[in-house]
Amino acid sequence: EIVLTQSPATLSLSPGERATLSCRASQSVSSYLAWYQQKPGQAPRLLIYDASNRATGIPARFSGSGSGTDFTLTISSLEPEDFAVYYCQQRSNWPLMYTFGQGTKLEIK
Amino acid sequence: EVQLVQSGAEVKKPGESLKISCKGSGYSFTSYWIGWVRQMPGKGLEWMGIIYPGDSDTRYSPSFQGQVTISADKSISTAYLQWSSLKASDTAMYYCARRGVGDYWFDPWGQGTLVTVSS
């Protein structure tokens, strides 16, 4: 089973700053990694798939990078609405599992 | 617009049964997988299982195998998650989400169904 480890657990930044969130897989997942945003009281929303492709309607300030075991979600200039929890996710085929990281909480400093 | 609309919040007692629903619209319901994800209070996301409504092919996370049943009625574009005997530890928000054939990500998600189990 592939384990996803996100860091840091909490990131405190101010609007306008750059945010860098990390997701590390316990073994290679190639580029099969997705990122989600979850705001309080809301369902998760897909941001990025295949490590670097923005989902429909996602602003260009969100970008993803990485392959293999190390991935990064970058928010170039934080807007007030970006403060939320972010999860990475991948799928393994044997056994079939969809695994989420434990999340990074991005909070206002 | 592609949408998944889930049934409303439930309050149940331990030992009771429950079936919650997730209705898809705006797309071909039988051509996409529907997954279920649990989020316990203040915690992260856990994948429970997934169903392909086209042929009812269903897979479960080992953590949830035998604990819940996932089903679908393609005639009304609805997927279900059910428990035969609830426990207090089943208290959580439950989300359904669509997964594309050949994909691995989930998009969109339903609004969630809060299940509270308390005596």
Classify B71 as helix, strand or coil. strand
Name the residue facing A95 among B62, B97, B108 (closest C-beta).
Answer: B62
Chain A with chain B: Cβ pairs closer than 8 A: 57
Structure tokens at A67: 């392959």
Name the residue facing B104 among A36, A98, A103 (closest C-beta).
Answer: A98
Confidence of residue A44 (pLDDT cuts 50, 70, 90): very high
Q: Does A9 touch chain B (CB under 8 A)?
A: no
Structure tokens at B47: 């994948």
Confidence at residue B73, expressed as pLDDT on a 0 to 100 scale:
98
Mean pLDDT across chain A, nearest whole number? 96
Which is higher by pLDDT, A97 or B114? B114
pLDDT, average across residues A28-35:
94
The answer to whether residues A6 and A26 touch, using CB atoms and an 8 Å cutoff, is: no
pLDDT, average across residues A69-98:
95
Contact across the interface for A99 and B103, Cβ inside 8 Å: no
Which is higher by pLDDT, A92 or A9? A9
Classify A90 as helix, strand or coil. strand
The minimum CA-CA distance between B9 and chain A, rounded to whole Å, is 13
Contact across the interface for B104 and A103, Cβ inside 8 Å: no
Residue B102 pLDDT greater than 90, yes or no: no
**pLDDT digit string (tens) for B27-77?**
999 999 999 999 999 999 999 999 999 999 999 999 999 999 999 999 999
Confidence of residue B3 (pLDDT cuts 50, 70, 90): very high
Buried b (16+ CB within 10 A) or exposed e, B18-41: bebbbbbeebebeebbbbbbbbee
Name the residue facing B47 among A45, A46, A99 (closest C-beta).
Answer: A99
The minimum CA-CA distance between B52 and chain A, rounded to whole Å, is 14
